[in-house]
Structure 1
């Protein structure tokens, strides 16, 4: 079963190909869970809710439940959902909130039990080896001291909103931390299924490793 969908963080036109594959993989008789907390209140949650409906209603997902408080949630609470969509925002705030509420452990259980998760931008970066790839665009205003992600992408960290102008920053990161990077332009996404990675979208993804850059079609 396909279980992880990660996008480079584009708008709904840029992610449409990945979105359609995601919709085809889930049970449309169950609601989708939407977690927009990465926006930290910079965007009203009502606007987030309207946006997620504008993306997925036309593709056939009508039942969408939004969580903005992750306290006291359990794996049992997640069983009624077809999937989880984790939105973008500040990556440090997002991961810190998951850890403080204990939702990080529940989410990992959900994924490990073949639950389907879609992460966009910050919601994608947290599934990499660590989240310092977000430091070029996200300030760390939290108490987050350790930056390990969920590490589901074969020990790669994830770089979203990738443009070629980021190459020097990415190579600096690879050299400094000794961690390889999977870079996703806004038009690209990946599907991760039991160790197999597939690129979806109108743009390729890129791998930065040992000073070299590779194209992943």
Structure 2
């Protein structure tokens, strides 16, 4: 079974109605509709407004969401394995990964990915799949931290943002023999079995 990741830089349901990249995502699974899709809003600390937008955008699918408290469920692995798509929202990447690793949800996602559950995400939910993340540590500085390592290298979303671009380019100059991706807000990457198969411009 193919392993699939869709890395979304910007846009999506949180910023636009009937976003093309979300429609693209729903066409990836070769299954009957409605699809089982769950939203993970850890990076925004489970912001209710963000979750509400997800349900509005995916109202025609079999939609659900998983909060930080749900990660402690003894059945969390089977719940995630039963999904067609996991959609990870944006926000604080470092905070999200710390929560996932503390609760073991990082392993849950990795296991589900190996079983063919499609992983998708925007911004923080795009860069987290890579070996290394370079993102905000706080309001004043950027830093490097470990990602989930499902994909080689590192990804910089929102590359059109000047401050982020300068910081990432400086960090990238120190990375030897590493695969680095930079995406403007309207650019997205589709990976199958850890290989880039498409760059989608919306």
* Alignment TM-score, normalising by the size of structure 2: 0.81
Correspondence for 1:8: 9
Is the 1:174–1:180 contact (alpha carbons within 8 Å) kept by the matching residues of 2?
no
Confirm or deny that 1:157 pairs with 2:154.
yes
Correspondence for 2:199: 199
Shift of 1:17: 2.8
Shift of 1:191: 0.7
Correspondence for 2:43: 38
Q: Distance in 2 between matches of 1:152 and 1:130?
A: 10
Is the 1:90–1:139 contact (alpha carbons within 8 Å) kept by the matching residues of 2?
no
* Alignment TM-score, normalising by the size of structure 1: 0.76
Unpaired stretches in structure 2, ≥5 consecutive residues: none
Map 1:1-150; keep pairs closer than 5 Å. 1=2, 3-12=4-13, 13=16, 16-26=19-29, 27=31, 28-40=33-45, 44-45=47-48, 47-57=49-59, 61-68=60-67, 69=69, 70-72=71-73, 73-131=75-133, 133-135=134-136, 138-139=137-138, 147-150=145-148
Shift of 1:55: 2.7
Counting matched residue pairs gives: 188
Distance 1:4 1:15, change over 3 A: farther
Alpha-carbon RMSD across the aligned residues, in angstroms, is 2.5
Q: Distance in 1 between matches of 2:63 and 2:99?
A: 21
